[in-house]
Chains A and B, each alone.
Chain A
Amino acid sequence: MAALGGVEGAGTLASLSEKSPALEEFSSGRAKKRRHFRWWRLIVMVLAGIYFLGPLYAGIKFSLEDIQGGFSLRAIESIPSSPGFSAAFALSMRITIVTVVVSALLMIPTAIYVHLRVPRMRRVLDFVTVLPIVIPPIVLIVGVLDASPLWVKSSPYLLSFMYVILAMPFVYRSLDAGLGAVDLKTLTEASRSLGGNWIKTLWRVVLPNLRPALMSALVLTLALALGEFTMASLDLWTTIPVWIYQFQNASNGHVQIAAAMVGLVGAIVLVTIIVSLDRSRSGRRKMSTK
């Protein structure tokens, strides 16, 4: 049997290595298919690249040009000294920080409470947290400004509270996904049975296991608060986006585009730093087990 199998096996291998016409046709068909597929992939990638990177390239190119069209860093260099920039930058930072803090204080306990104690409310929250996407920001801010007393209207931090509402869909969904990924009930009960009160349980057990979700929520809130224009403009506060718009009218446009580009690069750097800090921390944790 073994000998027979060996002889037959050799024959079969030999015939396969010669490549029958049918096999060749099959192989060439697959190769053609692969080539065909690769072309489509390339086309889609190029189109997507142009769509996303084209405006960015144009913006960077414009911000690095002087009036005659030559290369120059003057527009970027003149941003810090441009009238109103420092004040707008400081205001944006203050509003962003307050937004992040209020959003965290409001949404983290709420999401945890709903998951642990009233899970049936998750559907309601899913609906409620979508509303800020459905209702245009202009409607929200006009209504709030109309209804608010003067001392509320006169504070820039009204914007922070509005941004908390705008960021709610993203923050809640990030947290909801994070909480859904861990067995929150068992972990909190384990902590409590070991003597942890609610604050210690939150700090030592829940939040560390929510870190990816918290990072995602933080990045989204930062991006939203730093880039929001409509509300800030209607509330008459000169944040960075409003300053860019106003300064456009008072300059040749190069500085304004340069400021937008610097802001974009700054946001990318900030997000990269946050994500890499998180990754390096996780990495150290994994390394330490070896």
Chain B
Amino acid sequence: MTQMKETPVTSTLTQNAASGGASVSLENLVRTYGKVRALDGLTLKIEPGEFMALLGPSGCGKTTALRVLAGFEQLDSGRVVVGGEDLSNVSAQKRDMGMVFQSYSLFPNLNVLNNVAFGLRMRKQSASKRRAKAGELLEMVGLSDQAGKYPHQMSGGQQQRVALARALAIEPRVLLLDEPLSALDAIVRAELRDQIRSLQQRLAITTVFVTHDQEEVLSMADRVCVMSRGHIEQVATPSELYARPVTAFVAQFVGISSRVPVDASGREVVIFGQRCPVRSGEGSSLSGPVDALLRPEDIAIAVDPEGKGFVTRKSFLGAVTRLVVQVGEISVRVDVRSDVGSEIELGTHVRPSIVARDVLIAPRKVDVLSDPATAS
């Protein structure tokens, strides 16, 4: 694959970047399909130039939110405000939003140059201007030597880069990315992920990125909006989201968590005989039987023949090794450095302890995700 060149972003694109992109405000969006509420009062503010990711499982409403923003879906109620302008009743073609789709969306009848220039043609720009601008954008995505090719002659990764150039050519107020990497193989996906982020930062364009891949989100976004059943669970930076999820859903959807049944009282729980403060969040005021949600790195172990836990499974993950430790009737996942992990055999007795400064609790339930044997 041709590498994207770090060419200087010139002319109008830079001028646009200087403006910092447009702010986006989604206000109490409601969209229903029959009895299903795809968007259930969604409210979200996106700062100018920010890279916001909408993350969630299938059917959580993230794509609907993006399509509402693009103007492809009608709202039952709510407002879409971009750069201070209410676009709720503005048609898609007048919204100035560049969009890259999940499936390859290049026009098969046009070559790469004409695909990139399409939006400019719709804006009645002269042929010379169109050519110059399209050429500039193709250079930016490292495909200037492919200008005469047709979509069917290009790889999936190249097509998505052309689609990105095409979306940027119209100098959109907001760039919308609808799972643009999901159809690509792992290597191309990682490469394009970095390229998109780099380009977005150089142009400082407000970007909304829909995905269900948490790895993409954690590596690309300024902030992440985790969605479930049409509403927002949490909006936070990737590191905050991972380290301090505020709902059980987020804790289990982003990263890996083990559910440990405990009793809560006075904003404290006792886990493995150790008192731990409860983290502020969805269930912080709960008392009585609850589940503590623990990240693998929240737990430390020490090899101890008298320890209550023993290792039942071991997975080498590179720098760390993930162990499944059975303590009584519960099992938890624990990450240890691989040089340490390599010396721990299955069946080794260990003493687990909590190293997190506080823990998230949630109403007690039996959840398949809490079982390390079934969770990924």
Contacts and interface: CB of A to CB of B under 8 A. Distances in A.
A195 B121 CA distance: 9
B105 A186 contact: yes
Interface string A158-196: 000000000000000000000000110011011111111
B292 to A, nearest CB: 45
Contacts of A204: 107, 118, 121
Most buried by A among B94, B99, B106: B99
B150 A195 contact: no
B11 interface: no
B170 interface: yes
B92 A190 contact: no
Contacts of B176: 193
Interface in B95-113: 95-99, 101, 103-109, 111
A289 B118 contact: no
B105 A195 contact: no
A205 interface: yes
- Bin chain B's interface residue count: 35 or more
Nearest to A193: B99
A194 B170 contact: yes
Contacts of A200: 122
A189 B109 contact: no
B111 A192 contact: no
Interface in A205-221: 205, 208-209, 211
A193 B177 CA distance: 12
Interface in B143-165: 148-150, 153, 163
B239 interface: no
B109 A208 contact: yes
Given A193-B70, A193-B92, A289-B111, A187 B105 contact: yes
A193 B106 CA distance: 13
Contacts of B153: 289
Contacts of B105: 183, 186-187, 189-190
Given A192-B93, A208-B109, A186 B103 contact: yes
A155 interface: no
A186 B107 contact: no
A289 B101 contact: no
B311 to A, nearest CB: 45
A186 B149 contact: no
B286 to A, nearest CB: 45
Contacts of A193: 70-71, 92-93, 95, 97-99, 167, 176
B48 interface: no
Nearest to A290: B148
Contacts of A187: 105, 107
Contact of B101 (A186, A196, A285, A290): A186
Given A189-B101, A204-B121, 19 more contacts: A182-B108, A189-B72, A190-B107, A190-B166, A192-B92, A193-B167, A194-B98, A194-B122, A195-B94, A195-B96, A195-B119, A196-B93, A196-B118, A196-B122, A200-B122, A211-B109, A288-B111, A289-B149, A290-B148
- Bin chain A's interface residue count: 20 to 34
Nearest to B172: A193
Interface in B72-129: 72, 91-99, 101, 103-109, 111, 118-119, 121-123
A197 interface: yes
Interface in A252-286: 285-286
B284 to A, nearest CB: 43
Interface of A: 182-183, 186-187, 189-197, 200, 204-205, 208-209, 211, 285-286, 288-290
A190 B100 CA distance: 8
A135 B375 CA distance: 60
A192 B104 CA distance: 16
Contacts of B163: 190
Given A289-B148, A289-B149, A289-B150, A191 B99 contact: no
Nearest to B107: A205
A284 B360 CA distance: 65
Contacts of A183: 103-105
B256 to A, nearest CB: 34
> Top 6 nearest A-B pairs by Cβ distance?
A194-B119, A195-B122, A208-B109, A190-B105, A193-B99, A192-B92
B276 to A, nearest CB: 49
Interface string B273-305: 000000000000000000000000000000000
A194 B111 contact: no
Contacts of B108: 182, 209
Most buried by A among B99, B107, B167: B107
Contacts of A208: 107, 109
A192 B99 CA distance: 10
A189 B103 contact: no
A154 B106 CA distance: 50
Contacts of A290: 148
A211 B109 CA distance: 10
A289 B145 CA distance: 11
A196 B121 CA distance: 9
B34 to A, nearest CB: 14
A209 B71 CA distance: 24
B161 to A, nearest CB: 15
Contacts of B150: 285-286, 289
Contacts of A190: 99, 101, 105-107, 163, 166
A187 B166 CA distance: 13
22 contacts: A186-B101, A187-B105, A189-B72, A189-B105, A192-B93, A193-B71, A193-B95, A193-B167, A193-B176, A194-B93, A194-B118, A194-B166, A195-B170, A196-B93, A204-B121, A205-B109, A208-B107, A208-B109, A209-B107, A209-B108, A288-B148, A289-B111
